[in-house]
């Protein structure tokens, strides 16, 4: 029996009546755009995040694009972001016409490294986008202090970290804005695309509501030039069902991570994620990422044994053809570049069984032992 990377079919089958009922209600109401189901999700997700406002949008990418636009970032503005992230973090900066400034990452946590960020500062640096990569909360105390010192706005990319906390507070609510994705495989995922922006700034929230909906306050009256990026009601209905399980699912992910950690202890040449098992709130394990110097062979070994694995991400931002225009050659970000060659993401989802984790562990031990 193979082991999937995530098991969304299983998750659906376990909660089928709740999903079908919620979706059926939206269909029967024929209220598909915005409306009460979306409003309820926005309110409940805001309560969950302990923020004032949540604005549902069409994707995590749009959440980032609209957040940057609402903050007034544009041509000439430089934006710091980690070199090892999903490409959307960088694309959003490109999209608003601002300048992508990749920053190297920390060797242990793989998160944005503030020393590297400090070296990239210029008088045009306007914003910093910490990415809570793999589900780990970035040190927002340090990042906010850095941002205050250098007059930068903090845009959190929390697309992989729904529910994680830093110093007791939920990520996504710690900077000027927090951006979330509800891509199906995320810790909180829809049955299609979706995203959200979180903020405690009422004026910014109002602007974001305009930006996602043709700049419109009233039908056919448009205050701002803007397009269409709304969270739709069917996705919101799914998210309303799933939000109730998010904490439990995150706990199960953490438990699986601890089991991987125990099982993989002492395996030669294999580096496991460094985290504090006493602080489950800091890491919601969107991904469990190991490092191996023989990554290609290891991936083949796992695949042959019917186990799925992934690489997040095989190419750092500055080495993509799309962003070659940044003019940052290989060697610019040594830690991110090394990670890209050695990291491997193991199967991780709330419903993963002890037995499945143990099977993956055994397979890794066979290979590296």
Ligand X SMILES: *Cc1c(COP(=O)(O)O)cnc(C)c1O
Contact positions toward ligand X, by CB under 6 A?
Answer: 59-61, 85-86, 88-89, 131, 157, 159-160, 181, 183, 193, 195
CB of 93 to ligand X, least distance (A): 12
Q: For ligand X, give the closer residue by CB, 174 or 270.
A: 174
The least CB distance from residue 262 to ligand X, in Å, is 27
Residue 291 exposed, middle or buried by CB count within 10 Å (0-12, 13-18, 19+) = middle
What is the CB neighbour count within 10 angstroms for residue 76?
10
Length of the chain, in residues: 369
Name the DSSP class of 232: B
CB 83 within 8 A of CB 336: yes
Q: How far is the C-alpha of 157 from the C-alpha of 242, rounded, in Å?
A: 21
**Given the complex with ligand X, which of 55 and 298 has the nearer CB atom?**
55
* 116 φ, ψ (degrees, to nearest 5): -65, -40
**Least distance from ligand X to the Cβ atom of residue 42, Å:** 17
> Which residues is 128 bridged to in the sheet?
80, 154
Name the residue nearer to ligand X (CB basis): 57 or 364.
Answer: 57
Buried b / exposed e across 310-320, counting CB within 10 Å, b at 16+?
A: bbbbebbbbbe
Residue 60 or 310: the one with the smaller Cβ distance to ligand X is 60
CB of 331 to ligand X, least distance (A): 24
Query: Of 146 and 313, which CB lies nearer to ligand X in the complex structure?
Result: 313
Residue nearest to ligand X (CB): 60
Give the residue from 245, 321, 320, 316 showing the smallest Cα distance to 284: 245
Q: By C-beta, is 92 or 360 nearer to ligand X? A: 92
Shortest CA distance to 281 belongs to which of 147, 177, 168, 178? 168
For residue 301, the minimal CB distance to ligand X (Å) is: 27
Please, what is the minimum distance in Å from the beta carbon of residue 133 to ligand X?
A: 7
């Amino acid at each position: 029996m193979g082991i999937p990377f995530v098991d969304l079919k299983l998750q659906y089958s376990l909660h089928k009546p709740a999903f079908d009922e919620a979706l059926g209600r939206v269909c029967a109401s024929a209220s598909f755009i915005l409306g009460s189901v979306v409003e309820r999700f926005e309110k409940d997700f805001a309560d969950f995040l302990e923020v004032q406002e949540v604005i549902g949008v069409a994707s995590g990418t749009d959440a980032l694009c609209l957040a940057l636009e609402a903050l007034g970032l544009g041509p000439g503005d430089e934006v710091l972001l980690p070199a090892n992230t999903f490409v959307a973090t960088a694309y959003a900066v490109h999209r608003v016409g601002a300048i992508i400034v990749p920053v190297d990452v920390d060797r242990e946590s793989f998160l944005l490294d503030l020393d590297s960020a400090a070296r990239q500062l210029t008088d045009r640096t306007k914003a910093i986008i910490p990415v809570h990569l793999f589900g780990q909360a970035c040190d927002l105390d340090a990042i906010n202090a850095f941002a205050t010192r250098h007059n930068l706005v903090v845009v959190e990319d929390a697309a992989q970290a729904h529910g994680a906390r830093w110093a007791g507070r939920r990520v996504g609510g710690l900077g000027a804005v927090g951006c979330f994705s509800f891509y199906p495989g995320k810790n909180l995922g829809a049955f299609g695309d979706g995203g959200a922006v979180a903020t405690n700034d009422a004026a910014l929230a109002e602007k974001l509501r305009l930006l996602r909906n043709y700049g419109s306050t009233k039908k056919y009256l448009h205050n701002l030039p803007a397009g269409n990026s709304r969270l739709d009601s069917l996705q919101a209905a799914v998210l309303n069902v799933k939000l109730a399980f998010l904490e439990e699912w995150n706990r199960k992910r953490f438990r699986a991570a601890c089991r991987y950690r125990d099982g993989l202890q002492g395996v030669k040449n294999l580096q496991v994620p460094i985290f504090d098992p006493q602080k489950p709130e800091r890491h919601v394990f969107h991904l469990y990422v190991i490092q191996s110097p023989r990554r290609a062979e290891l991936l083949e070994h796992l695949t042959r044994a019917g186990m799925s694995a992934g690489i997040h991400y095989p190419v750092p931002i500055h080495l993509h053809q799309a962003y070659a225009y940044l003019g940052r050659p290989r060697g610019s970000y040594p830690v991110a570049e090394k990670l890209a060659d050695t990291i491997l993401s193991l199967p991780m989802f709330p419903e993963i069984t002890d037995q499945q984790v143990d099977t993956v562990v055994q397979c890794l031990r066979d290979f590296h032992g």
